[in-house]
Chains A and B, each alone.
Chain A
Amino acid sequence: MARHVVAPVGELPPGSRKFLTIDERPIAVFNVKGEFFGLLNRCPHQGAALCEGPLIGLAQSSEPGEIEYSKLGEIIRCPWHGWEFDIRTGQSYCDPKRFRVKAYAVNVEPGSSVVKGPYIAETLKVSVENDYVVVDL
């Protein structure tokens, strides 16, 4: 497992997402209300760029006439066929046994520890004063 520096925290404000390719894998990192999430940007259903879809909530029903809408902004909906995945876990809600999108741990680390390594910063210049979003692959 390697830890890759994605961006300074200030460049990924809440509501934003960043697409990048790490080790030839398309990755998307999201900031949802201050929490960071990472997903493989490829839908396990037919291969679309999943993370270009909208972030919606999870509509569930205990019985007809009852609707609960939860996990607001935490469900990614594929831009092709509308398959829904939980960005916390990559879980599919319609076929959880067959389909799961790879989820990656994303953390915020201080520049002081990032500078020491063994982080892979790629094209980013890391300074001690900043905090950085890092993803574990």
Chain B
Amino acid sequence: MNVQFRPSADGSVTAKTAIADCDIHPARRSMKDLYPYLAKRWHDHLETYGGHAYQGMMVGPPYPKAQPNASRRDAYPPEGGVQGSSLSFMQQQHLDPNNVALGVLNPLNTGQGLRNQELSAALATAINDWQIAEWTSKDTRLKGSVVVANEDGVASAAEIRKRAGDKNFVQVLLLSRNVEPLGQRRYWPIYEAAQEVGLPIGVHAFGFGGNPITASGWPSYYIEEMVGHSQCQQTALASIVLEGVLERFPKLKMIMIEAGFGWAPSLAWRLDRVWQKLRSEVPHVKRPPSEYIKDHIWWTTQPMEDPERRDHLFQTIDWIGWDKLLFATDYPHWDYDEPSRVLPAGVSDANRAAFYLGNARELYGIA
């Protein structure tokens, strides 16, 4: 709470520390924004049939949101459209006043998890072209995520290889809630391609696989979905470790996005202890599970862990490593973290610099 990044009254950038924002959500005003990047066949298909997901809902998210479009009420662009749909307003409201030097785009609701695999793949390609045309080519601080038709590993791998070496992209984007746990073999072509082209895999909370957010079934409230993301992410990460993904693809780096990090030590302790007893069931897991997690996993910060006692936060981060945290705001979503209000006092200058920018630059290879 001791760092002030206060924008000046005239909106100009004041001298303040540059940051990375590793979770920004660009939005479409409507599906028609993607038409320039989609074959005519899909325009007609979308207008005739729409898209249908694995989840029961025909449209919209499985749980209602606390603010319109799950976004800040003050983030509607003045020219109209939903929050996050205007680059110029994003620059004016967020990128400039917060001195964002590196912003990672994570487009959601972009065909991930559609049952029609060809439509899913076409939308993924379109949203990737759209990121370049509408965002990263217009503001070089912004970098895209390769969106893939995640339930079709072969199509996903082709899309990843198509973007190989393209500096507009810094990661492959997956979601946490899929048809099966993320370590399973149907997803391996994604990991293989990502390792081959040298892109880390970001696993963002949410998804459309049709499974309940909790392991005990569908809960009643949005608040249960909000806290359920960390439970869901734990199952995804346990699957990745226990299926041997990180043994099979040893250069793979993964980022857990928007699902917290306070649970990481507890999950790893439990995995290690049980692995000591059941190692023979999963002989492909050659090292204690905690080692894979410490070596291969990065964590975005938003929504930041906020325990009553800051030493509890620091102990958790000591386990994870100050070099593994990536600052994120989640702009323009409603549970946005304000950069100046996230880290309590008592953090060294070196750790603070790594947390806000250095780790992201190193992981994403941005000078």
Contacts and interface: CB of A to CB of B under 8 A. Distances in A.
B341 A79 contact: no
B338 interface: yes
Contacts of A49: 74
B184 interface: no
A48 B336 CA distance: 10
A82 B335 CA distance: 9
Interface string A41-69: 00001111100111000000000000000
B341 A53 contact: no
B342 to A, nearest CB: 9
A79 B340 contact: no
A81 B75 CA distance: 13
A49 B73 CA distance: 10
B337 A46 contact: yes
Interface in B226-274: none
Nearest to A49: B74
Interface size range of chain B in the complex:
10 to 19
Given A80-B336, A82-B66, A48 B341 contact: no
B271 to A, nearest CB: 33
A45 B340 CA distance: 11
A114 B19 CA distance: 49
A86 B213 CA distance: 33
Interface in B65-86: 66-67, 72-74
Interface string B323-355: 000000000001111101100000000000000
Contacts of B66: 82
Contacts of B67: 79-80, 82
B340 A47 contact: yes
A85 B197 CA distance: 50
Contacts of B334: 80-82
Q: Chain A interface mostly helix, strand, loop or mixed?
A: loop
A48 B72 CA distance: 10
Contacts of B74: 48-49, 52, 79-80
A79 B68 CA distance: 10
Contacts of B337: 46
Contacts of B72: 48, 79-80
A47 B72 CA distance: 13
B341 A52 contact: no
Report which residue of A48, A53, A79 has the largest number of chain B beta carbons within 10 angstroms of its beta carbon.
A79
Interface in A5-46: 45-46
Interface in A61-107: 79-82
Contacts of A53: 73
Interface string B308-328: 000000000000000000000
Nearest to A79: B73
A137 to B, nearest CB: 19
A80 B338 CA distance: 10
Nearest to B74: A79
Given A79-B67, A80-B336, A81-B334, A47 B73 contact: no
Contacts of A47: 338, 340-341
Given A47-B338, A48-B74, 7 more contacts: A46-B336, A47-B341, A48-B338, A79-B67, A79-B72, A79-B74, A81-B334
Top 4 nearest A-B pairs (CB, nearest first) are A79-B73, A46-B338, A46-B341, A79-B74
Interface of B: 66-67, 72-74, 334-338, 340-341
8 contacts: A48-B72, A49-B74, A52-B73, A54-B73, A80-B72, A80-B73, A80-B335, A81-B336
